[in-house]
Amino acid sequence: MNGLKLNLGCGEKRFPGYINVDKYGSPDIKHDLESFPWPWETNSVSEIVLIHVLEHLGKDVEIYFGIFKEMYRICNHGAKIKIIVPHFRHEFFYDDPTHVRVVTPLGLQLFSQRLNKLWVEQGAANSPLGLYLDINFELKQTVIKPSEDWFRIHPDKNVDVRLLQQESNIYNNLIEQYDMSLEVIKNSNEEAGGKV
């Protein structure tokens, strides 16, 4: 797919073939991602990566929404967005005072208009943020990375993901990070079916 590829909050990890963006250092483009509008044309981007960045952004929820509205504006239909964040119950999340926002798979699914409509029909209490903000993202994949503590208790490399999720509802430090992939939906006739 044609379009720009952005590595937002790149830090020192600059990727070839991407426009590497950060507020600090010497990236390709220096920009504060909490300041709008972002310096890219509408429908000009086919891929965005945010690797250990989103948890640093949008302490104010309107700013957080602004980031998703800008990603939606600059991306073309079908664009891919990769988001890696520390799990909110892992010390990697809560030990860093610059981590200001919890990001979870369900939190990203609130931006899916397909699910929003389903929840409205069902009378579910989930906020239909995709409809409210006029944005539409489908969560296509979530990869859960178990922590060293998990492997100390369960050394088997074939991870029982269901057990991991159940235990993680009770204990801290079992999941290290979420690696989530969003797809941008601009043509709702072609709305891709994501999993609930």
Q: Which residues bind ligand SAM (CB under 6 A)?
A: 9-11, 13, 22-24, 32-34, 51-53, 56-57
Minimum gap (Å) between residue 91 Cβ and ligand SAM: 15
Minimum gap (Å) between residue 52 Cβ and ligand SAM: 4
Q: Looking at beta carbons only, is 22 or 183 nearer to ligand SAM?
A: 22
Extract the tokens encoding 2. Answer: 């044609």
Q: Looking at beta carbons only, is 48 or 115 nearer to ligand SAM?
A: 48
Minimum gap (Å) between residue 169 Cβ and ligand SAM: 26
Q: Looking at beta carbons only, is 51 or 79 nearer to ligand SAM?
A: 51
Q: Looking at beta carbons only, is 9 or 66 nearer to ligand SAM?
A: 9
Minimum gap (Å) between residue 45 Cβ and ligand SAM: 16
Identify whether the C-beta of residue 42 lies closer than 8 Å to the C-beta of residue 74.
Answer: yes
- Find residue 82's DSSP bridge partners: 49, 181
Buried b (16+ CB within 10 A) or exposed e, 140-173: eebebbbbebbeeebeeeeeeeeebeeebeeeee
Residue 36's CB is within 10 A of a number of other CB atoms, namely 12
Identify whether the C-beta of residue 110 lies closer than 8 Å to the C-beta of residue 137.
Answer: no
